[in-house]
Amino acid sequence: MANILAIDDDSAVLATMKLLLERDGHSIVVANDSHKGLKIFETGNFDLLVVDIFMPKMDGLETVRLVHKRRPGIPIIVISGHAFPSDLNSTPDFLHMATRLGAITSLRKPFKPADLLATVARCLEASTNISES
């Protein structure tokens, strides 16, 4: 299956993702902040990243930008538990910003296990189709 890197400052979210994705046959490495995640990313060969948007020190938007700059083809899923505005004119749409920086999709926390697995599968399939073209 796939090698996945998950970066999130919430240890419960990381543990949940690790359990679900390993049960689904993937290999997953976790990091609890963006600096550690980027160091791991530089030394590993990952097929997919899952990155939280709101983290201390370095946010996920910057992480997505740096990863996309170094390896533009890697699929990135951004996740966030931040409340998203119903009025798009009131506050920035961080998920939209993340996709403009290189993320290919997003998932809102708390997510259902089936939603995480389906999103990961879609991203990996799309990535495989692009690389085979």
Residue 77: the pLDDT is: 95
Residue 18: the pLDDT is: 98
Residue 91: the pLDDT is: 53
In this prediction, residues 37-61 reach a mean pLDDT of 94
Q: Which two tokens stand for residue 133?
A: 């073209």
| C-alpha to C-alpha distance for 16 and 8, rounded to whole angstroms | 11
The count of residues in the chain is 133
Q: Where are the alpha helices (DSSP H) in the chain?
A: 11-23, 34-43, 60-70, 94-101, 113-132
Residue 102: the pLDDT is: 77
Q: What is the mean pLDDT of the chain?
A: 88
| C-alpha to C-alpha distance for 130 and 73, rounded to whole angstroms | 9
Q: What is the pLDDT of residues 75-120, one digit of tens each?
A: 999 998 865 555 445 556 666 777 777 788 888 899 999 999 999 9
| C-alpha to C-alpha distance for 24 and 64, rounded to whole angstroms | 25
Q: What is the pTM of this model?
A: 0.88
Residue 106: the pLDDT is: 87
Q: Where are the domains of the chain?
A: 3-128
Class of domain 3-128: alpha beta
